[in-house]
Amino acid sequence: VDTVGFGDSDEGRPFAQEVIGGLRRIMSPWAVLLSDDVARDCSVVIGGFICKRLLDAVSRRKVSASGALRIEQDAGDLAALLESFGGLKARAKAVRLLQAARLLSSDNLEDAAEEWAVSCSRLTLEEEAALL
């Protein structure tokens, strides 16, 4: 059963790989034509969506050790893709993705989740300050 949305689905393909594959197909021919603003907006939307899925997984605690490793690998791929869009927000989202994925294998999930939430707030303030 795919409890998180990132693990193996009934169709046998991990959710994140489908997202990555689709994004590469859609974005790569047009990447050189995108303005920085458009690329940044895309990365923020995608990053927010993936982070929400990871947070849902953490809050439900329905991830096996092998599932957590798979999610971390998928999140690493997604983070690299987001970072390739460039911009401060994209890099911050990439960092958050990896932090969230690593939470899933943490021994003390509640403390780690709280720490991650605080670091997200801090990053958001830094992003906003940098964009002013």
What's residue 7's pLDDT?
40
Number of neighbouring beta carbons within 10 Å of residue 11:
9
Domain range list for the chain: 15-131
Mean pLDDT to the nearest integer, 1-20 = 42
Q: Distance between CA 31 and CA 10 in Å, rounded?
A: 32
- pLDDT tens for each residue of 60-115: 555 566 666 666 666 666 666 656 655 566 566 666 666 665 665 555 555 655 66
Percent of the chain exceeding pLDDT 70 equals: 0
- Two structure tokens written together for 75: 């999140």
pTM: 0.37
